[in-house]
């Protein structure tokens, strides 16, 4: 056996040591894991791109439909597809690893090191946020380049709507991570929640075609508000306050509940 | 009967400790209950700097709960804990920097490589160990580029020990560190532990392997039903269990008990039919054979029975530690 360099530190370490490098290595490893377990990536980036290509290739999808408020089917489905990608990511990609870290005892192990386990959660949010942004960018850019979609009317509105949609949905994903007891239950909860969430986003029946009562409900669901804000930014201009405030409210409430109920072991 | 660490014993330990050796772990009157179940009940012990201290007991004895309280993962209901003079809760940040912990049954993400995991944990500490050296000593160098999921149970265990040591701690808690290792890997790990202690690191070892405790530990606390039932060196605990060793033999001719009871090593002589059973301490066999030889008597069919830590445990708790431990 080789000898081990082990000079004993004589002085106690000073508290508040710089930990930027530590956070960096955690983010790096979480990014590696996201790349090596690509199912959530496929669901949140690959699936929207494939759906967009399908919609783009349907000949009638480029025609203006009067019942859709003078928009084409492609125009109507683009925000829905963007939000679909975000939903797959936040319901599966974000809570899955966090719950498995609790199951594996990684959070417990971290709580015996100088780095608190909450950093792993933060690193996971950083990595998945980058994935979410990449997905939205890819879908938008492809829609413009490949399918001749118009540039968004309000790029600032689109950016703000996207960020608030990510915030609201990520908070929901963290809440799932907080309450799901096992990795298996993340999938079960995710699948159960995705159906009504996407229904009110207009995946099966665009919001413009919904009866008034469903439209009213949709306005106050996370995905309904997200689709409304994104669609307005793309087609009309800076979105109205209501859908943005609805997203902010969801972000705050879900984040509070996630923090309140999160189990570290 | 073995005593809890009495004041007298404590003073003795302090007197024997070389100058400058301070207590690394001080646990006093620790108590922790989960509802009506008292997991740890008035546990006290002190570990001196540079010592390898064993905590031994059957499953459910409260070993792990005691350790979890000691390192600050759980809040005890009562009692005080000091690690290198620090409070594990109030001085959490400093404690985590200089105390390494290997918990039982902690896994890691399947698709991270050994080197990537070590680099991540290394970045948490201000003055960490060298990854190559640590991997070399633990026999994991060839596995540096392998995914965690491809490691054997023993390799995972050694990686877990590596993570406890990567911050170059001054005090390390290792909970069942050799469980699941094959005998060779176990001996390698023991060697590593002795090497690290040689550098002045204090080690608290939770184990149910008698051989491990006897080989490594300077002192051992036997824990049963949340209480410390004995605390001493492995050799002294073993000696207390049976009042020492016994030699059983068939003498070639008659002799008086006086011949053997007069020896310093002999505490008693019994006759079992033709056989003679001598109980005593020290170089018992040599002393007995020499005395018999001088009297012209030859001992045949000599059987030596030396009690060990396991006997001590059975005697003190009425339980068989080994059989319960292996199930874990």
- Summarize pLDDT for B16-56 with one digit per residue, the tens: 444 456 889 999 999 999 888 888 998 999 999 999 999 98
Q: What b/e sequence results for A56-79 when a residue is b if at least 16 CB atoms lie within 10 Å of its CB, and e otherwise?
A: beeeebeeebeebbebbbbbbbbb
Q: Rounded distance, CA A217 to CA B305, Å? A: 83
> Average pLDDT of each block of 10 consecutive residues along chain B (328 residues)?
45 46 89 89 92 88 89 91 92 91 89 96 91 88 95 88 92 86 82 85 88 89 88 79 75 90 86 86 84 90 75 70 43
SS3 state of residue B152:
coil
pLDDT of residue A28: 96
What local confidence, expressed as pLDDT, does residue B267 receive?
A: 82
* Distant-in-sequence, close-in-space partners of B280: CB < 8 Å, separation ≥ 6: B244, B245, B246, B247, B263, B265, B266, B267, B268, B287, B288
Domain ranges within chain A, ordered by starting residue: 33-261
* pTM of the full structure: 0.79
Q: What are phi and psi of B168, to 5 degrees?
A: 50, 65
Q: In which order are the strands placed within the sheet that holds B23-34?
A: B37-48, B23-34, B78-83
Q: State the DSSP H helix or E strand holding residue A134, giving kind and residue range, or none if neither.
A: helix A118-147
Which residues are registered as beta bridge partners of B231? B221
Residue A15 has pLDDT above 80, yes or no: no
**Interatomic CA distance for residues A53 and A207, integer angstroms:** 21
Contact flag B93-A16 (C-beta cutoff 8 Å): yes
Interface touch A13/B170, C-beta < 8 Å: no
Q: Which residues of A touch B (CB under 8 A)?
A: 1-6, 8-9, 12-13, 15-17, 19, 21-22, 24-26, 28-29, 32-33, 36-37, 97, 100-101, 104-106, 108-109, 111-115
Q: Give the closest residue to B208 by CA, choosing from B196, B192, B224, B194.
A: B224
User: To the nearest whole angstrom, how far is the Cα of B175 from the nearest Cα of chain A?
Assistant: 12
What is the DSSP secondary-structure string of B37-75? EEEEEEEEEEEETT-EEEEE--TTSSHHHHHHHHTTSS-
Q: At what angle do helices A118-147 and A95-104 cross, to 10 degrees?
A: 150
Please state, in angstroms and rounded to a whole number, the distance separating the CA atoms of residues B289 and B291: 6
- Percent of chain A exceeding pLDDT 90 equals 63
Q: Helix and strand tally (H, E) in chain A?
A: 12, 2
């Amino acid at each position: 056996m080789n000898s081990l360099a082990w000079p004993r530190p004589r002085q106690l370490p000073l508290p508040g040591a710089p930990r930027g490098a530590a956070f960096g290595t955690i983010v790096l490893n979480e990014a590696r894991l996201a790349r090596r377990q690509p199912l959530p990536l496929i669901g949140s980036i690959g699936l929207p791109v494939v759906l967009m290509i399908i919609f783009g290739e349907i000949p009638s999808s480029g025609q203006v439909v009067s019942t859709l408020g003078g928009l084409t089917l492609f125009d109507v489905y683009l925000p829905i597809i963007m939000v679909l990608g975000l939903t797959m990511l936040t319901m599966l990609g974000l809570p899955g690893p966090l719950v498995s870290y609790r199951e594996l005892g990684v959070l417990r192990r971290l709580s015996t090191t100088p780095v608190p386990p909450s950093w792993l959660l933060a690193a996971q949010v950083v990595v998945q946020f980058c994935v979410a942004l990449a997905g939205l960018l890819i879908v938008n850019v492809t829609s413009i380049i490949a399918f001749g979609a118009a540039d968004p009317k309000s790029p600032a509105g689109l950016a703000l709507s996207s960020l608030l949609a990510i915030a609201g949905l990520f908070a929901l994903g963290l809440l799932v991570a907080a309450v799901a007891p096992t990795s298996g239950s993340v999938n079960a909860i995710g699948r159960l929640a995705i159906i009504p969430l996407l229904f009110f986003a207009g995946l099966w029946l665009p919001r413009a075609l919904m009866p008034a009562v469903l439209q009213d409900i949709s306005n106050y669901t996370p995905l309904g508000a997200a689709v409304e804000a994104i669609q307005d930014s793309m087609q009309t201009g800076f979105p109205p306050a209501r859908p943005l405030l609805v997203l902010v409210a969801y972000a705050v409430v879900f984040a509070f509940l996630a923090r309140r109920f999160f189990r570290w072991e | 009967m073995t005593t809890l660490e009495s004041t007298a014993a404590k003073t003795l330990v302090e007197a024997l400790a070389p100058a400058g050796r301070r207590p690394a772990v001080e646990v006093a009157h620790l108590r922790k209950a989960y509802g009506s179940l008292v997991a740890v009940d008035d546990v006290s012990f002190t570990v001196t700097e540079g010592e390898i201290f064993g905590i031994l007991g059957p499953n459910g004895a409260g070993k792990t709960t005691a350790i979890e309280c000691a390192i600050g993962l759980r809040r005890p209901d009562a009692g005080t804990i000091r690690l290198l003079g620090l409070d594990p809760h109030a001085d959490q940040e400093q404690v985590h920097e200089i105390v390494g912990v290997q918990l039982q049954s902690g896994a890691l993400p399947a698709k991270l490589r050994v080197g990537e995991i070590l680099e991540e944990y290394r970045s948490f500490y201000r003055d960490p160990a060298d990854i190559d050296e640590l991997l070399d000593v633990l026999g994991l160098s060839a596995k540096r580029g392998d995914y965690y999921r491809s490691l054997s149970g023993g390799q995972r265990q050694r990686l877990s020990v590596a993570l406890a040591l990567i911050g170059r701690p001054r005090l390390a808690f290792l909970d069942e560190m050799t469980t699941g290792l094959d005998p060779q890997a176990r001996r390698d790990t023991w060697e590593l532990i002795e090497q690290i202690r040689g550098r002045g690191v204090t080690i608290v070892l939770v184990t149910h392997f008698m051989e491990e405790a006897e080989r490594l530990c300077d002192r051992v606390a036997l824990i049963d039903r949340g209480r410390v039932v004995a605390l001493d060196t492995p050799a002294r605990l073993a000696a207390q269990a049976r009042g020492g060793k016994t030699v059983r033999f068939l003498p070639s001719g008659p002799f008086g008990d006086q011949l053997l009871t007069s020896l310093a090593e002999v505490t008693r002589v019994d006759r079992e039919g033709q056989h003679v059973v001598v109980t005593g301490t020290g170089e018992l066999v040599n002393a007995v054979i020499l005395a018999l030889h001088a009297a012209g008597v030859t001992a045949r069919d000599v059987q030596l029975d030396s009690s060990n830590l396991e006997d001590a445990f059975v005697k003190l708790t009425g339980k068989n530690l080994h059989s319960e431990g292996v199930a874990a």
